[in-house]
Amino acid sequence: MLQLINISKRFGPVAALDNVTLSLRRGAIHGILGENGAGKSTLMNILFGLAHPDTGKIELDGRRVRIVSPVRAQRLGIGMVHQHFKMVESLTVLENISLAAARGLWSPGRRELIGRIRAWTDKLHWNLDLEKPVADLAVGRRQRVEIVKALCTGGKLLILDEPTAVLTPQEVAELIPPLRAVAAAGMTVLFISHKLAEVQKLCDRITILRKGRVVYTGAINELDAGQIAEKMIGARLKFPRLTDHQEQPDNAPRRDSGELAPPRLELRNVSIRGSRHGAWPLLNVNLSVRSGEIHGIAGVDGNGQDFLIRCILGQLEPADGNVIFGDSPDSHRKTPGTRSGTPLGYIPEDRLREALVLPLSVQANLMLKRYHTSPFAWMGLCRFGRWRQRSAELIGQFDIRCPDAQTPVGTLSGGNQQKVVVARELGEKPRLILAVNPTRGLDVGASAFVMNQLLAARREGAAILLVHSDLDELLAISDRVSVLYNGQLQETSWPDASREQIGKMMLGIA
Task: Give me the mean pLDDT over the 189-218 stretch.
Answer: 86
Q: Are residues 290 and 226 in the same domain?
A: no
Task: Give me the mean pLDDT over the 164-187 stretch.
Answer: 78
Q: Are residues 21 and 42 in the same domain?
A: yes
The domain total for the chain is: 3
CATH number of the domain where residue 219 is located: 3.40.50.300
Is the pLDDT at 301 greater than 80? The verdict is no
Is the pLDDT at 330 greater than 50? The verdict is no
Q: What share of the chain is helix, strand, coil (3-state, %, to 5)?
A: 35, 25, 40
Q: How far is residue 470's CA from residue 346's CA, in Å, rounded to a whole number?
A: 18
Long-range CB pairs of 234-238, under 8 A, 24+ apart, other chains included: 234/210, 237/444, 237/445, 237/448, 238/448, 238/452
Burial of residue 159 (number of CB atoms within 10 Å: 0-12, 13-18, 19+)? buried
pLDDT band at 433 (very low <50, low <70, confident <90, very high): very high
Between 263-267, 375-379, 494-498, the lowest mean confidence (pLDDT) is in 375-379
pLDDT band at 221 (very low <50, low <70, confident <90, very high): confident
Q: For residue 469, is it within any domain?
A: yes
pLDDT band at 506 (very low <50, low <70, confident <90, very high): confident
Quote the distance between the C-alpha of residue 120 and its chain's center: 29
Task: Give me the mean pLDDT over the 177-193 stretch.
Answer: 87
Percent of the chain with pLDDT over 90: 13
Q: How far is residue 347's CA from residue 337's CA, in Å, rounded to a whole number?
A: 14
- Output the furthest CA–CA distance in the chain (Å, rounded): 74
Q: For residue 350, is it within any domain?
A: no
Q: How far is residue 483's CA from residue 493's CA, in Å, rounded to a whole number?
A: 11
Return the SS3 of 223: coil
Q: How far is residue 300's CA from residue 487's CA, in Å, rounded to a whole number?
A: 11
Amino acid identity, position 110: R
pLDDT band at 319 (very low <50, low <70, confident <90, very high): confident
Q: For residue 353, is it within any domain?
A: no
Q: How far is residue 299's CA from residue 468's CA, in Å, rounded to a whole number?
A: 7
Return the SS3 of 459: helix
What is the structure's pLDDT at 437? 87
* Greater model confidence, 435 or 486: 435
What is the structure's pLDDT at 64? 92
Q: For residue 351, is it within any domain?
A: no
Is the pLDDT at 401 greater than 50? The verdict is yes
Q: How far is residue 212's CA from residue 19's CA, in Å, rounded to a whole number?
A: 8
Query: N- to C-terminal Cα distance for the chain?
Result: 46
Which residues on neighbouring strands pair with residue 287, listed in sequence order? 267
Q: How far is residue 281's CA from residue 284's CA, in Å, rounded to a whole number?
A: 10
Task: Give me the mean pLDDT over the 110-131 stretch.
Answer: 85
Q: Are residues 118 and 149 in the same domain?
A: yes
How many other CB atoms are found less than 10 A from the CB of residue 383? 14
Q: Are residues 423 and 328 in the same domain?
A: no
Q: Are residues 127 and 11 in the same domain?
A: yes
Q: Are residues 412 and 491 in the same domain?
A: no
Pick from 380, 410, 427: which residue ends a domain?
427
Is the pLDDT at 258 greater than 60? The verdict is no
Strands 29-34 and 188-192: parallel
Q: Are residues 390 and 482 in the same domain?
A: no
- CB environment 41-73: b (16+ within 10 A), e (fewer): bbbbbbbbbbbebeebebebeeeeeebeebeeb
**pTM to 2 decimal places:** 0.65
What is the structure's pLDDT at 168? 64
Is the pLDDT at 342 greater than 70? The verdict is no
What is the structure's pLDDT at 206? 92
Structural domain span for residue 157: 2-233
Q: C-alpha distances in angstroms, 248 versus 243, 244, 253, 363, 385?
A: 11, 9, 8, 33, 37
Pick from 380, 400, 427: which residue ends a domain?
427
Q: Are residues 48 and 187 in the same domain?
A: yes
What is the structure's pLDDT at 417? 87
Helices (H), 203-247: 225-233
Is the pLDDT at 349 greater than 90? The verdict is no
Q: For residue 255, is it within any domain?
A: no
Q: What is the pLDDT of residues 143-174, one digit of tens each?
A: 888 888 888 877 788 888 877 766 666 677 77
Angle in degrees, 0-180, between the axes of helices 169-184 and 499-506, rounded to the nearest 10: 90
What is the structure's pLDDT at 486? 83
Strands 263-272 and 282-290: antiparallel
Q: Are residues 268 and 321 in the same domain?
A: yes
Residues ≥6 apart with Cβ < 8 Å to 143: 81, 85, 163, 166, 167, 171, 175
The secondary element (H helix, E strand) that includes residue 75 is helix 70-75
pLDDT band at 58 (very low <50, low <70, confident <90, very high): very high
Task: Give me the mean pLDDT over the 21-29 stretch.
Answer: 91
Is the pLDDT at 413 greater than 60? The verdict is yes
Q: How far is residue 104's CA from residue 119's CA, in Å, rounded to a whole number?
A: 24
Is the pLDDT at 33 greater than 90? The verdict is no
Residues ≥6 apart with Cβ < 8 Å to 176: 201, 202
Which residues on neighbouring strands pair with residue 407, listed in sequence order? none
Q: For residue 323, is it within any domain?
A: yes
Q: Are residues 216 and 315 in the same domain?
A: no
Alpha-carbon torsion (413, 418, 424, 428), positive or negative: negative
Burial of residue 233 (number of CB atoms within 10 Å: 0-12, 13-18, 19+)? middle
The secondary element (H helix, E strand) that includes residue 454 is helix 444-459
Is the pLDDT at 328 greater than 60? The verdict is no
Is the pLDDT at 6 greater than 80? The verdict is yes
Q: How far is residue 115's CA from residue 118's CA, in Å, rounded to a whole number?
A: 5
* Greater model confidence, 90 or 257: 90
Q: Are residues 153 and 35 in the same domain?
A: yes
What is the structure's pLDDT at 458? 92
What is the structure's pLDDT at 492? 87
Q: Are residues 90 and 160 in the same domain?
A: yes
Q: For residue 266, is it within any domain?
A: yes
Task: Give me the mean pLDDT over the 484-510 stretch.
Answer: 82
What is the structure's pLDDT at 229? 77
Q: For residue 368, is it within any domain?
A: yes
* Greater model confidence, 319 or 375: 319
| CA-closest candidate to residue 423, choices 445, 389, 450 | 450
Q: What angle do CA 477, 256, 510 make, to 5 degrees?
A: 60
